[in-house]
């Protein structure tokens, strides 16, 4: 309960600041004081300050586009490693799993060089391409023999991680109209911080995180059951 309370503090502050008229175009410690007259003005200003519709569409294309390809690659690879007997199968599988031991930041430079050589720099496909194969997904489907709960659990992990990813899209995307939500929010925040409009920043952050929060609230039981059934801890 103590850890949950500590985790909730910044989230509660975001809610207070987002609906607080004291922070509507304002600044300072007033954002910490809840108001009895909540307003949507912060949301209106945030929505008008950045193209969140475009950012959301780009993020959806990236997240679900990656997942669509991953479902094909991990099921085929998982089936091959689980059911097809070929020379060096175990060695190949363990070599494939070495990817899990690499921190993602280590792969940024070689991946960026590859994307540039392929002519995919500054494109949504360039953001998606390095994730079309997944060692974790292959391991999961191999161990679970392609069980439905495992695919659901992997889908949740995949969409959540790519929805929230910031560093790799920041490195690949230059065009403002191709930015995903995380990069667009960072750009929006830098502009809003000039005026110290904390309520507007909180409103923008809440809009970006809202889709995942709503999805979890609606499908919480399905999420938990899929993880329990798949054995993911």
Q: Note the pLDDT tens digit of each residue in 128-169.
A: 999 998 988 888 888 876 777 788 888 888 998 999 899 999
> From CA 107, how far away is CA 109, in angstroms rounded?
6
Task: Report if pTM > 0.85.
Answer: no
- Name every residue whose Cβ is closer than 8 Å to that of residue 174 and which is 6 or more positions away in sequence: 122
58-91 residue pLDDT tens: 999 999 999 999 999 999 998 898 888 889 888 9
Residue 36 has pLDDT above 80, yes or no: no
Residues 105, 167 contacting (CB under 8 angstroms): yes
Return the ∠ at Cα 9 (arms to 4 and 11), rounded to 5°.
100
At 26 the pLDDT is 47
The tokens describing 32, both together, are: 């910490």
- Name every residue whose Cβ is closer than 8 Å to that of residue 53 and which is 6 or more positions away in sequence: none
Residues 104, 168 contacting (CB under 8 angstroms): yes
Helix or strand holding residue 171 (H, E): helix 167-172
- Name every residue whose Cβ is closer than 8 Å to that of residue 159 and which is 6 or more positions away in sequence: 63, 64, 67
At 34 the pLDDT is 57
At 33 the pLDDT is 56
């Amino acid at each position: 309960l103590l850890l949950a309370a500590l985790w909730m503090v910044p989230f509660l502050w975001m809610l207070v600041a987002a609906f607080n008229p004291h922070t509507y175009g304002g600044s300072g410690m007033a954002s910490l004081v809840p108001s009895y007259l909540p307003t949507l003005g912060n949301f209106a200003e945030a929505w008008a300050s950045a193209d969140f519709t475009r950012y959301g569409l780009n993020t959806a294309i990236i997240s679900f586009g990656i997942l669509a390809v991953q479902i094909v690659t991990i099921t085929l690879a998982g089936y091959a490693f689980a059911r097809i007997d070929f020379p060096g199968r175990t060695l190949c599988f363990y070599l494939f799993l070495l990817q899990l031991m690499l921190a993602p930041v280590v792969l940024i430079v070689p991946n960026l060089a590859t994307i540039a050589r392929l002519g995919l720099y500054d494109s949504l496909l360039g953001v998606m391409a390095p994730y079309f194969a997944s060692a974790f997904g292959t391991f999961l489907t191999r161990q679970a023999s392609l069980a439905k709960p495992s695919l659901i659990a992997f889908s949740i992990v995949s969409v959540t991680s790519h929805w929230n990813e910031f560093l790799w899209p920041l490195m690949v995307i230059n065009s403002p109209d191709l930015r995903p939500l995380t990069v667009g929010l960072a750009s929006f925040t830098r502009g809003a911080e000039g005026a110290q409009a904390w309520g507007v920043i909180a409103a923008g952050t809440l809009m970006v995180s809202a889709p995942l929060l709503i999805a979890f609230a609606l499908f919480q039981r399905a999420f938990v059951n899929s993880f329990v059934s798949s054995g993911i801890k």
